[in-house]
Structure 1
Amino acid sequence: MSHQHKPHMPSDVTSQVGFFDRFAQSASKFFSKPWFFAFCVLLVLLWAPSILVISEVDTWQLIINTTTTIVTFLMVALLQNTQTRSDEAVQDKLNAIAEILAAMAEESGSEDVKAAVKEAKAAIGLEDKESA
């Protein structure tokens, strides 16, 4: 089992993103456009009067229920991927800021700066590193 190195500073972060992550990001951008919402509304407006063609109400309802369930299921997986990566990126940036502040506090020796750094670390959930 290999141990993956967690980036600590902006220079440690790689710009390489996997295929699924790129796909999820593109899908997120695509699905978040106003015209896509309008397209979805149009599909519902086209489906609603199809009751006149599809005389069986159960079949008519099954069409929209199945379609929306499948689309929702797939979109949740894609959007969750995008949101998780975004959250991790924000946390990594906050951690880098906290580490920079900690380094500055150590150099300055000021108790006020050290207290502010400790408070910032606690606020963003960055634990103190144990020294060996």
Structure 2
Amino acid sequence: MQQSVTMPSNVDGKLSVFDRFATATSNFTSRAVFFVACVIIVVLWAPSFLALQNIDTWQLIINTITTIVTFLLVALLQNTQKRSDDAVQQKLNAIADGLADLMDDLSAEHPGLRVDLAELRAAVGIEKREGA
């Protein structure tokens, strides 16, 4: 039975609206502009105590803003990280599969490769293929 492997070049490039939004958000938040905007918010917030005259309201404003932004960014960035991890895993699977095929082909000339091939298959979960 031949194992079905998705090659990196065959990965479906279609992204949902949420995935595209998460990618755009990740790209934006990883730039210096986003950090500068965060610093500006804190700089504007700090002297606002003089206008609010209530320390509880003053703290509540920054706590609410940071909590909401953090909560939403974690969800969006987790999405992009998961997709990135999946893509890396698919590439590693393709490399391991190709290496196993190469080792299998060369094992007739180099019998010591059979032990290494068995270890590779056991380590990454590649099933032995039957001849065509």
What is the number of residues matched between the two proteins? Answer: 125
Pairwise mapping of residues 52-67 of structure 1 onto structure 2 (< 5 A)?
A: 52-67=50-65
| Distance in 2 (alpha carbons) for counterparts of 1:65 and 1:36 | 18
> Paired residue for 1:89?
87
The Cα offsets for residues 2-57 of structure 1, whole Å up to 9 and x where unpaired, read as xxxx8521233111111111110110000110121011011101000000000111
**Equivalent of 1:30 in 22, 28, 33:** 28
Question: Taking structure 1 as reference, are residues 78 and 104 closer, same or farther at Cα in structure 2, changes over 3 Å only?
Answer: same
The Cα offsets for residues 97-128 of structure 1, whole Å up to 9 and x where unpaired, read as 00001111111223444444555556xx6213
Secondary structure of the 2:62 match is: helix
Q: For 1:69, give the aligned amino acid.
A: T
> Paired residue for 2:102?
104
Pairwise mapping of residues 1-132 of structure 1 onto structure 2 (< 5 A)?
A: 8-109=6-107, 110-119=110-119, 126-129=124-127
Q: For 1:106, give the aligned amino acid.
A: D
TM-score by length of 2: 0.83
What is the CA RMSD across the aligned residues, in angstroms?
A: 2.2
Secondary structure of the 1:38 match is: helix
Question: Taking structure 1 as reference, are residues 120 and 30 closer, same or farther at Cα in structure 2, changes over 3 Å only?
Answer: farther
Instruction: Give the unaligned 5+ runs of structure 2.
Output: none
| Percent of matched pairs sharing the same residue | 50
Question: Taking structure 1 as reference, are residues 112 and 30 closer, same or farther at Cα in structure 2, changes over 3 Å only?
Answer: farther
Task: Could you list the structure 1 runs, at least 4 aligned residues long, displaced by more than 2 angstroms after superposition.
Answer: 110-122
Question: Taking structure 1 as reference, are residues 11 and 33 closer, same or farther at Cα in structure 2, changes over 3 Å only?
Answer: closer
Structure possessing the higher radius of gyration over alpha carbons = 2
